Chains A and B, each alone.
Chain A
Amino acid sequence: DIQLTQSPSSLSASVGDRVAITCRASQSVTKYLNWYQQQPGRAPKVLIYGASTLQSGVPSRFSGSGSGTDFTLTISNLQPEDFATYYCQQSYSIPRTFGQGTRLEMK
């Protein structure tokens, strides 16, 4: 199985800040890396697929980069609704695997 390690596990930030969350894979997943946002009590929502493609309807302050084993989700100009938990997921191989999550909290 491909292991995904996210850092940091938690992060405090303020509205208007720019933050970055990284995801490292235990082996190359090429560009098959997706990012999700999950609000408490809700289903995950895809933000970025294919490492850097913004899902339709997702604000442009979200961006993704990387390939191979190292990936980054960047959120610019944080908004109140962005405080949530973020997960990376690889869809390069079976079984699909998720990172452990990064909790983004308001400072």
Chain B
Amino acid sequence: QVQLQESGPALVKPSETLSLTCTVSGDSISTYYWSWVRQPPGKGLEWIGYIYYNGGTNYSPSLKGRVTMSVDTSRNQFSLNLTAVTAADTAVYFCARERRGRGDCDYWGQGTLVTVSS
């Protein structure tokens, strides 16, 4: 059974960097695309980007310049860094597995709420 689990600080100060890690169990990270999606409170889903096991990435243009993703195949983890955060970045952040060739996300983490506030 594939499981994903997000971890990281729940509170980040404005202008600082939001850092989250997703740990994958039940599957090797060395396949599929590994995605981040966020959802502001009471709002819809926003795709942030994805990373492949070899480090290849695709990011949303709306966040480009602030977002970087990385992968650690030895730990079966991938990570998200979002710099210069503002209150608009307050959201539940989900990690997910995107299936190659189809593009849907078939496994998701439970999500973690990150609040940007001083």
Whether chains A and B associate is yes
**CB-based nearest B residue for A85:** B44
Instruction: For B60, list chain A residues within 8 Å (CB).
Output: 95
| Known pairs A87-B45, A95-B47; A34 contacts B103 (CB<8 A) | yes
**Is B53 an interface position by the 8 A CB rule?**
no
**Is A96 an interface position by the 8 A CB rule?**
yes
Residues 21-44 of chain A: 1 if any B CB is under 8 Å from the residue's CB, otherwise 0? 000000000001010101000111
Q: How many interface residues does A have (CB within 8 Å)?
A: 26
- From residue A56, how far is it (CB to closest CB) to chain B in Å? 9
- From residue B21, how far is it (CB to closest CB) to chain A in Å? 17
Interface of A, secondary structure class, is: loop
**Is A3 an interface position by the 8 A CB rule?**
no
Q: How many interface residues does B have (CB within 8 Å)?
A: 25
B109→A91 contact, CB < 8 A: no
B45→A98 contact, CB < 8 A: yes
A32→B45 contact, CB < 8 A: no
Interface centre among B37, B98, B104, B106 (most CB of A within 10 A): B104
**CB-based nearest A residue for B63:** A95
Q: How far is the CA of A27 from the CA of B104 in the complex (A)?
A: 19
Residues of chain B in range 77-91 having any CB-CB distance to chain A below 8 Å: none
Instruction: For B35, list chain A residues within 8 Å (CB).
Output: 96
| Known pairs A43-B111, A49-B102, A87-B45; A94 contacts B58 (CB<8 A) | yes
B102→A91 contact, CB < 8 A: yes
- From residue A44, how far is it (CB to closest CB) to chain B in Å? 6
| Known pairs A44-B45, A94-B58, A101-B44; A49 contacts B104 (CB<8 A) | yes
| Known pairs A95-B61, A96-B47; A46 contacts B104 (CB<8 A) | yes
A: which residues have CB within 8 A of B? Answer: 1, 32, 34, 36, 38, 42-46, 49-50, 55, 87, 89-92, 94-101
Given contacts A43-B111, A49-B106, 5 further A-B contacts (CB under 8 A): A43-B110, A87-B44, A87-B45, A95-B49, A96-B35
